[in-house]
Amino acid sequence: MPSRRRFLHTCTAATLPVFGSHAAAPSKPFSFILLGDLHYDSLAHHDMKWLAAHHAGDLSQIQNYSRLTAEVMPGMFAAIKQRIASLQNSAAPPAFVLQVGDLVEGLCGTAELSARQNREALAFVTQADLGIPFVFTKGNHDVTGDGAKEAFDEVLLPFMTKAARTLDSTATHTQANHTMTYGDSQFAFFDAYDKTSLEWLEAVAAKRTAEHLFVIIHPPVVPYGARATWHLYAGEKLKAQRAKLLDILGQQQAMVLGGHLHKFSALTRLAGGKRFSQLAVSSVVSSLNQKPKDILHGLDTYTGDQVNLEPKHAPDTATQRREIYTTERKEVTAFEYADTAGFAVITVSGSQVTASIHSGSQSEAFQTLKISV
């Protein structure tokens, strides 16, 4: 693991870590704010008897998310609003906020409580008055618990549809799988919890005309960190689906945006004869002035030793998780990681796409990466 001095030197160097190589002149620049998991929550959203009977082990997590929602999230959104305002007169003004799923904690126990949680989460976002549309994809917690799927369709999906239409008048959808075009970029919101999503993405890719393709998927496609088995299509029986997804992303030279693991990571991977990038962020912020820790920088750190980052996580699967990296690292060509939460600013300028990663509510980025490939 590199020293903090070496890491900071790398992040402030004039030459950014390169995650792509297009060279066309910039055209119609814009930016957007990228948010990771939020887990909006309140103890009042949960049927405690149901929780004790079905998910007793999640109570401490729910208590913590409820506290962070009340104590930290307002300050975080205030900082994001300020960041949006500071970018309005820049060369790439912000067009929207994009959140990668797990907007809410879920696990409410009834459809009524789930709908209440969803409505209050959207009210919080609306009252934050960010000044630009708020779009998001589906996360596992958004549809977890009795009645959660119905509440998603009733409350979150209509909001999702309306927000997309404010940015792209041609956007029409009634499912979580949908596309939105802004400038010369297409955004494919991939429902990781729908069995038809892979075929849907294949069809989207076949019709693509935009210069950039962003694919927003809540769980990672390429494993990183200690929880190497938590990526999409990770099971032995899903190898064919995973191979197909990788080929699509590689052939399209896509930029995958996601979360799920509550960590920052950026990487590129070979697939389909080309390569794609993956950027993951977390917005479960425990402290507004937090600093990154467990920093991994460079391809030499993409090894099975990542399992040591969370030594208490499923120790009985440590060998399996190490083996995943033995195979996967043959295809990974760039890698960054840190245990931190905050937000990112993605800037699209012609063929170049960069991501500035912010820890907590800090206005100064702790790392900037080129993610276009």
pLDDT of the residue at 91: 95
From CA 49, how far away is CA 108, in angstroms rounded?
10
Q: Which tokens sit at 112?
A: 């009524």
pLDDT of the residue at 14: 32
Q: What are the pLDDT tens digits along the chain (373 aa)? A: 444 443 333 343 333 444 444 333 345 899 999 999 999 999 999 999 999 999 999 999 999 999 999 999 999 999 999 999 999 999 999 999 999 999 999 999 999 999 999 999 999 999 999 999 999 999 999 999 999 999 999 999 999 999 999 999 888 777 999 999 999 999 999 999 999 999 999 999 999 999 999 999 999 999 999 999 999 999 999 999 999 999 999 999 999 999 999 999 999 999 999 999 999 999 999 999 999 999 999 999 999 999 999 999 999 999 999 999 999 999 999 999 999 999 999 999 999 999 999 999 999 999 999 999 9
Longest dimension (CA), the chain: 59
pLDDT of the residue at 171: 80
From CA 114, how far away is CA 107, in angstroms rounded?
8
Give the strand pairing for 332-339 and 293-297: antiparallel
CATH 3.60.21.10 is the classification of domain 4-370:
yes
46: Cβ contacts below 8 Å, ≥ 6 apart: 62, 107, 108, 109, 113
From CA 144, how far away is CA 149, in angstroms rounded?
7
3-state secondary structure the chain: CCCHHHHHHHHHCCCCCECCCCCCCCCCCEEEEEECECCECCHHHCCHHHHHHHCHHHHHHHHHHHHHHHHCHHHHHHHHHHHHHHHCCCCCCEEEEEECCCCECCCCCCHHHHHHHHHHHHHHHHHCCCCCCEEECCCHHHHCCCCHHHHHHHHHHHHHHHHHHHHCCCCCCCCCCEEEEECCEEEEEECCCCCCHHHHHHHHHHHCCCCEEEEEECCCCCCCCCCCCCCCCCCHHHHHHHHHHHHHHHHCCCEEEECCCCCEEEEEEEECCEEEEEEECECCCCCCCCCCEEEEECHHHCCHHHHHHCCCCCHHHHHHHHHHHHHHCCCEEEEEEEECCEEEEEEEECCEEEEEEEECCCCCCCEEEECCC
CB atoms within 10 A of CB 161: 17
Q: Where are the domains of the chain?
A: 4-370
From CA 54, how far away is CA 41, in angstroms rounded?
18
pLDDT of the residue at 18: 44
- Rounded (5°) CA angle 335-260-214: 65
